[in-house]
Structure 1
Amino acid sequence: MSDAYVALEGGSVVEARCRSPGTARGELVFTTAYTGYEESLTDPSYEEQILTFSYPLIGNYGVREERFESSRVHPRAVVARELTEDVADWMTEEDVPAIDHLDTRDLVGEIREGGAMKCGIAAGPDATPADAKAELADCKGMSEHTEIGEQVSVTRRKTYNPEGDTDVALVDCGAKDSIIESLVERDATVHVLPHDTSTAAVSNLEPDVLFVSNGPGDPVNFEAAQHLVSEFAGEVPLAGICLGQQIIAAALGGTTEKMDFGHRGVNQPVRDLRTDKVVMTTQNHGYTVADPGRLDVTQVNVNDDTPEGLESEELDIITRQYHPEANPGPHDTLDFFDDVLDMTGRRTPVAAD
């Protein structure tokens, strides 16, 4: 007997089993990653979304806090073919609804055909299809979450490795912890700043690099971060990852657009247009750069030709749409952080393992 229901934007209702009770609404997306569920579930880029795992068994190597990418679970709910007790208990502790025992292949097929869609979930002994439909009726589109930055950003400056060699001002639009760690490993001092940081606050830090992080939602809703890019472009080297690439492009005359179902997984092939080399990358985004504006496209996705890397030698800018820190995923692109710090001319190499 079913005790969980998923109401989809297209009108259908899918039955499932409750593993963590509650109700939720959000944009239904899927990831193809078969490992890294701890990192995915704590990735701030999944804020206001419902995450479906296409891999059938989630939780087969337990739950360890040292793998978390932030202090909490960010998806509004979790969907899988089968969840282990470890993950189910974790979601219950976090008060995040979780369901399994449904055909996730069919669900992923619907997303691929119809695109990421609104959905509602109701799970628990008293849950009904009507409850799930009520959640769907109240669900917003991602572009409507205009204040999403406040949900994932720090509220005041945090500084890591204060005696480092290079000062990085990181605009936190939903940064993963491993981005900060990748910079600290290279002996950078990282000042993590709120998403709506003022120009004066950045100027007072006199950073060597201004870095715009990953994060959730529509880049047009991060106006303050775009303003910072406009103010400091050409004055301070700029870098960005994922949402950060989109924000930097939009601030410099470019445009962005929503993708049908985005790129989410650890096996996305990216080709460098200068070397013709292909690397495998970790990705998690639902928007992309449509027009790079004043920036040059240096890397593209092999599957759909969307921009994966933007640069400007004149302005000292380098961005990546994928996640070079690769947690989870391949380590093909970790040298991005070396390239960022090379722009300052004061990089300290990472010590060999």
Structure 2
Amino acid sequence: MDTPIAIIGSGMAGLSAAHALVAAGRRVHLFDKSRGSGGRMSSKRSEVGALDLGAQYFTARDPQFIAALAQWQAAGWVETWNPALYRSHAGVLSHSPDDQARYVSVPRMSALTRHLLGELPATFSCRITEVFRGEQHWHLADADGRIHGPFSAVIVAAPAPQAASLLSAAPELASRAASAAMDPVWAVALAFEEALPTPLEGCFVKDSPLDWIARNARKPGRESSHDSWVLHASSDWTRQHLDLPAEAVIATLQTAFAEVLGARLPEAFFSIAHRWLYARPAQDHAWGTLADPAQGLYACGDWCLSGRVEGAWLSGLAAAQQLLAQG
């Protein structure tokens, strides 16, 4: 029986790579430090329903990704999201002319990754700290001192700074990963007993601590008896307030939210904050994947391409294709 391939990370990049490899008859095993799949597509279950704190939606441009999207839609995993979309600039709120098609997983963003994970072998709540090679195969060490392996190859599907630390066996790959800066984002979720009197369901924001507003409860497939919202701070504001207490972050972004709407908000009966240290790449790259085929070591993620969900999926596919090309 062939030696399996280790994939570190079960977000869209890791799952895309896994599916392409399994379709080609290869064995894989996924590892993730979180309790479940999703990465930055993770959703939080709460008393007000599932909250999409990370990726808010995705778009599709590449033919390969469009074909995969069609399959997901046919399976009922994804629906089109047509929000009442606005933009706020210099305190002026207006309709957004952006009419590109947007898609969301149902009933929460992480649901798509759960479907893609399916029955694939995976170990969760396992933070891999080292990737090292023995005489013939790769092995992984985790934060609890356990060793996993052997593996014929390793795909690192983690944010760039984390990937860099796991690629020490390939210094050139590690250096390139370390050069891919990633921006942080504070995310806040609020819920109100009654619906706020605004038609707004999505909003791009400028000149504010905020960057994005979404009416989470109005996304397709969401079930909630309350009016839940997700607010994303801008990366600049987050960087300046990286260590601000969660309560202060919530208060500041709620005030900015009220300013965008131009109205005083009722008291939110529910609020949480989550800090994404590696929310999105600071710039696009055209790498596709980073690869050391001679060693059997690869890295992929949205930071290798566009920074979008589509970019993560395409990067994972590219890593699998390069690996398979080695026979």
Same-fold call, TM cutoff 0.5: no
Of structures 1 and 2, the one with the larger relative CO (CA 8 A, separation 6+) is 2
Q: Give the TM-score normalised by the residue count of structure 2.
A: 0.26
Q: Give the TM-score normalised by the residue count of structure 1.
A: 0.25
